[in-house]
Amino acid sequence: ASLDERTRALVDRREAVLSPGYRLFYAHPVEFVRGSGTKLYTRDGDEYLDVYNNVPSVGHAHPRVTAAIAEQSALLNTHTRYLHEGLIDYAELLLGSFPAALDTLTLVCTGSEANDLALRVATHATGHRGVIVTENAYHGVTTEIAAISPSLGGADSLADWVRPVRPPVGDGTAMLRDARAAIAELQAAGHGVAALIVDTAFASDGFIPPSPGTRAALVAVQRLVHDAGGLVIADEVQPGFGRLGIGGPGSGDGAASLWGFPRHGLEPDLVTIGKPMANGQPVAGLVARRALMQAFGERVRYFNTFAGTPVAVAAARATWDVLHEDRLPEHAAVVGTELRGMLDELATRHDRLRGVRGSGLYLGVDIVDPATGDPDSPAAVNLVGALRERRILISASGRDNAALKLRPPLPFSRADAERFITEFDAALSELG
């Protein structure tokens, strides 16, 4: 589609001043001026259904969150070196959702910073440097964390102290075998093992739901890492805060948790959180065992200017309150299961759809070549663009860039799910 004059002009101005590293979505870019709940609106008032954005987890422009930010901004905004009860209240509440051993919070501003700090703590605590990651993981943008994120550029971009392993698919034995080899290699190279880090939804590795096999494998890998003197970091930046649904079917005894790690049988030493934490304000954190942070704190002065300010905490607290009062994790389990059912039904009618999977409102589905069953990235990209024209926001990801990733704001309703399915059905039919 040729671009209208305003869009063309904005794209040109953007290209002239912004880093090319910032990618713009869509051949036909879209400009939003307003959001509400699960909807975004253009200047002309066109309404788009958001099936993409997990950060505004309690809904775009939630009035409780915006009011909390406005009220606190009008009163006071400083740093964490003065006493502020709001921060302490929030830390107590948040830590109450973790196993008792994970009892210490450090606030930061981004998921990348949280992972960077986790890794720094792990290298201090263990005296080792080596890191084990899953083979298509993404953990963030700092130099250190880009070097442990294979999805950014394949194995070539990884630091020499990083070893990628296959994710826990199937019976999980491939991961266990790879981890054993990785540990031996890191030890032989003199790096030792500082940490295993896993995204507990394994989103960029293709969404791997827990099963008895994957649980056994992850628990065994965790034991190998601990035996090698390393620590386990659970990256909950995307799956955390109830996105996987509470009380949903098939997620095991960890299903009562806001977090992904218990579903996999993991007992992490460090947990990183972020994205949905404050509904869009830059608030993230590291939750860890006290002894680790004690030892780190004795050697390192850690001050993060914008982290844990009264305004940041007000946004996080209001988000937490809405999440719980509106029972959004329970809602995610119910609507997520309905949406999965609708996708399963769609897959019976469209042989381009395979492998509907995920939990709560964090779902993935593969787009394949119907003739070969192979991942079909051009078709997935085409569908994302076709859905944009149908005013549905979604993205493609995964190692082959052929998996559609569904992770809407948590108030996503059954009616929203039906609207999405109607448009997806039509776009699939058009694609043929």
Q: Which two tokens stand for residue 250?
A: 């098939």
Question: Which helix (DSSP H) or strand (DSSP E) does residue 216 occupy?
Answer: helix 212-227
- In the chain, % helix, strand, coil (3-state, to 5) comes to 45, 20, 40
For residue 120, the minimal CB distance to ligand PMP (Å) is 15
String marking each residue 218-257 x if it binds ligand PMP according to CB under 6 A: -----------------x-xx-------------------
CB of 272 to ligand PMP, least distance (A): 7
What is the rounded distance in angstroms from the CA atom of residue 195 to the CA atom of residue 333?
Answer: 31
353-359 and 270-273: which strand pairing? Answer: unpaired
Report the SS3 class of residue 67: helix
Using CB under 6 A, count the residues that bind ligand PMP: 15
Exactly one of 130, 140, 358, 364 binds ligand PMP (CB under 6 A); which one? 140
Q: Considering the complex, what minimum distance in angstroms separates the CB of residue 167 from ligand PMP?
A: 13
DSSP string for residues in 348-376: HH-TTEEEEEEETTEEEEEEB-TTT--B-
| Residue 135 near ligand PMP by CB under 6 A | no
Selected binder of ligand PMP within 35, 59, 111, 364 (CB under 6 A): 111
- Residue 130 or 282 with smaller CB distance to ligand PMP: 282
Tokens of 197: 């880090």
The total of other beta-carbon atoms located within 10 Å of residue 29's CB is: 14
Residue nearest to ligand PMP (CB): 111
Q: C-alpha angle with apex 23: 18 to 27, nearest 5 degrees?
A: 115
Per DSSP, the residues of 189-201 read: TT--EEEEEEETT
Cα distance between residue 272 and residue 288, in whole Å: 9
What is the helix (H) or strand (E) element at residue 94, kind and residue range? helix 85-95
Q: How far is the CB of 235 from ligand PMP (least distance, A)?
A: 5
Q: Which of 362, 395, 339 is nearest to 202 (CA)?
A: 362
Site string for ligand PMP, 145-184 (x = CB under 6 A): ----------------------------------------
Mark the segment that binds ligand PMP (CB under 6 A) among 87-95, 108-116, 293-301, 336-344.
108-116
Which lies closer to ligand PMP via its Cβ, residue 162 or residue 379?
Answer: 162
- 3-state secondary structure (DSSP) of residue 286: strand
Question: Nearest 5°: phi and psi at 341?
Answer: -60, -40
Closest distance between ligand PMP and the C-beta of residue 117, in Å?
12
Count the residues in the chain: 432
**According to the binding rule CB under 6 A, does residue 206 interact with ligand PMP?**
no
Q: Which two tokens stand for residue 138?
A: 């993404």
Nearer to ligand PMP, 140 or 245 (CB): 140
Site for ligand PMP in 376-395 (CB under 6 A): none
Site for ligand PMP in 274-303 (CB under 6 A): 274-275, 284
Sole binder of ligand PMP in the list 139, 264, 405, 407 (CB under 6 A): 139
Establish if 112 lies at the interface with ligand PMP (CB under 6 A): yes
- How distant is the alpha carbon of residue 296 from its chain centre? 26
- Closer by beta carbon to ligand PMP, 198 or else 322: 198
Q: Using CB under 6 A, which of the segments 81-89, 106-114, 162-170, 351-359 binds ligand PMP?
A: 106-114
At what angle are helices 290-299 and 111-126 packed, to 10 degrees?
A: 80
Q: What is the contact surface with ligand PMP in residues (CB under 6 A)?
A: 110-112, 115, 138-141, 199, 235, 237-238, 274-275, 284
